[in-house]
């Protein structure tokens, strides 16, 4: 089942189970609060952070506005540098292209750099169906893969696991994927890392095909950029003979100069580092240095539709730093799996319903998975106003109607009518006040039951403010 979120329940139900999982709550609380504080300190070091943030936003907006032109520029530059460019309209097409490219090499194994785009399209599952085994080499992705699990965070996909759980996963499952874990493996981070290093080393040295995404594509030279912390990416990007990169079309930035802005914004927002340990950049192919064959698969998969939405398109600025996840009080309690996609947290709640649409129950529930507290917008390094987009998507869901929303619309209309007729409103308020002794503490029915399960209703006052004012002032 690894790698698919198909059939996930709607957010409120999935979140209910997560909220009751005390181990998960503890793991998430510890991890998100630690990174939250570190990010704040790393960002506070830069006096010009607001200007960098504005620059990041403007570069992305400019690029998106002229995306057609920049995409052609990327294609020309990559081709001129010895690469081959493929265009994939959706996940199926991208998966087919990649599987065919791997098959053409005659290989049945690939090593992978951590990549959100390939998670999004479910590439590993598609490759498996084509008889190709894909090995995740990022430590957290490895934990997820060995545990037959799903990622729950953009940057730290195994954030929901603690070190005891990771030791068990390594001990039980490494052998069926390659070099087994040592018998006496402890849960010390250094021992766990060493077990992973030895397990992965044989894959790096054997693999003939590497698969990656990219953090940025620089249009002027056709250069791809991957930033990472572990060095596994550098291995996968340099050792294999063939490299295939699947990259969303919104990852373009026009020039190398623009990269300067993002190489400051991304590490500090993401891992709270001044600079990430490994930055790999490549331009097509180079004789005697790195892969001899390079394929770039440009992925749309809902991005053009997202771009067409004037409010929603700002989600395409996202550089996948995950700062919004780490500050989100809803993510901290619900965990990443409840979002039903590889993009969890606030950014997932606005990205997934745009990339996949709002037809399914889980996708239609995502725009409501927020208290609109605004902490995500505050930390976003490219100033995506996530609450604004959430509300905008709620409008689309409400317009679509369907389960619960028809009744809700009728109730909203009735309430608005009342609020637009103060005389009727006052009569209603007076009636409620006069019958207040009769009101029970807990109420049945949709809405009120959810409220009174954990909270008392406020006491109704003896009279509404309007009446007090009339008596005392008018």
Residues that bind another protein in the complex, under the rule CB under 8 A = 11-12, 15-16, 19-20, 25, 329-330, 333-334, 367-375, 377-378, 388, 391, 393-399, 408-409, 412-413, 415-416, 419-420, 422, 425, 429, 432, 446-448, 450-451, 453-458, 460-461, 463-466, 468-469, 473
CB of 363 to another protein, least distance (A): 14
CB of 427 to another protein, least distance (A): 12
Interior angle at CA 350, CA 346 and CA 353, nearest 5: 130
Distance between CA 185 and CA 160 in Å, rounded? 20
3-class state of residue 10 by DSSP: coil
Q: Smaller CB distance to another protein: residue 437 or 465?
A: 465
3-class state of residue 76 by DSSP: helix
Distance between CA 470 and CA 453 in Å, rounded? 37
Q: Smaller CB distance to another protein: residue 117 or 389?
A: 389
Distance between CA 428 and CA 430 in Å, rounded? 5
CB of 292 to another protein, least distance (A): 51
CB of 146 to another protein, least distance (A): 30
CB of 23 to another protein, least distance (A): 15
Question: Which of 163, 129, 119, 113 lies closest to 143, judged by CA?
Answer: 163
**What is each CA distance from 106 to 75, 103, 209, in whole angstroms?**
26, 5, 10
Interior angle at CA 429, CA 426 and CA 433, nearest 5: 140
CB of 413 to another protein, least distance (A): 6
φ, ψ for residue 114 (rounded to 5)?
-50, 130
Pair type for strands 109-112 and 209-212: parallel
3-class state of residue 325 by DSSP: helix
Question: Which of 323, 318, 408 lies closest to 355, judged by CA?
Answer: 318
Q: Smaller CB distance to another protein: residue 129 or 419?
A: 419
CB of 282 to another protein, least distance (A): 41
CB–CB of 192/170 below 8 Å? yes
């Amino acid at each position: 089942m690894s790698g698919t979120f198909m059939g996930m329940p709607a957010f409120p139900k999935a979140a209910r189970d997560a909220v009751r999982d005390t181990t998960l709550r503890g793991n998430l609380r510890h991890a998100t609060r630690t990174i939250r504080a570190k990010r704040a300190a790393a960002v506070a070091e830069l006096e010009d952070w607001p200007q960098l943030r504005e620059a990041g936003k403007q570069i992305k907006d400019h690029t998106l506005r002229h995306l057609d032109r920049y995409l052609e520029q990327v294609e020309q530059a990559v081709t001129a540098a010895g690469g081959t460019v493929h265009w994939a309209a959706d996940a199926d097409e991208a998966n087919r292209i990649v599987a065919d490219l791997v098959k053409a090499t005659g290989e049945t194994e690939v090593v992978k750099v951590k990549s959100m785009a390939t998670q999004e399209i479910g590439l590993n599952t598609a490759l498996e169906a084509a008889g190709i085994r894909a090995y995740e080499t990022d430590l957290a992705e490895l934990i997820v893969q060995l545990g037959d699990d799903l990622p729950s965070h953009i940057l730290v996909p195994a954030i929901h696991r603690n070190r005891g759980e990771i030791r068990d996963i390594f001990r039980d499952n490494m052998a069926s994927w390659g070099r087994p874990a040592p018998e006496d493996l402890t849960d010390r981070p250094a021992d766990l890392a060493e077990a992973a290093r030895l397990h992965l080393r044989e894959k790096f040295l054997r693999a003939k095909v590497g698969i990656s995404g990219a953090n940025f594509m620089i249009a002027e030279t056709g250069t791809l950029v991957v930033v990472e912390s572990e060095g596994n990416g550098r291995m996968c990007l340099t050792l294999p003979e063939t490299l295939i990169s699947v990259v969303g079309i919104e990852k373009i930035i026009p020039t190398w100069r623009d990269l300067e802005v993002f190489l400051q914004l991304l590490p500090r927002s993401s891992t709270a580092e001044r600079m990430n340990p490994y930055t790999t950049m490549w331009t097509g192919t180079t004789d005697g240095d790195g892969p001899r064959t390079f394929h770039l698969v440009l992925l749309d998969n809902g991005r053009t539709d997202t771009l067409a939405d004037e409010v929603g398109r700002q989600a395409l600025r996202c550089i996948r730093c995950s700062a919004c996840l780490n500050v989100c009080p809803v993510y901290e309690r619900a965990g990443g799996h409840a979002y039903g996609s590889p993009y969890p947290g606030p950014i997932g709640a606005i990205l997934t319903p745009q990339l996949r649409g709002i037809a399914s129950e889980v996708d239609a529930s995502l725009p409501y998975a927020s208290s609109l507290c605004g902490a995500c917008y505050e930390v976003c390094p490219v100033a995506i106003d996530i609450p604004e987009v959430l509300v905008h998507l709620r409008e689309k869901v409400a317009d679509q109607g369907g389960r619960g929303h028809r009744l809700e619309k009728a109730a909203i209309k009735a309430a608005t009518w009342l609020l637009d007729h103060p005389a009727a409103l006052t009569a209603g308020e007076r009636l409620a006040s006069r019958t207040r002794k009769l009101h029970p503490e807990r109420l049945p029915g949709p809405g009120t039951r959810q409220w009174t399960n954990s909270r008392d209703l406020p006491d109704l006052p003896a009279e509404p403010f309007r009446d007090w004012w009339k008596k005392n002032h008018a």
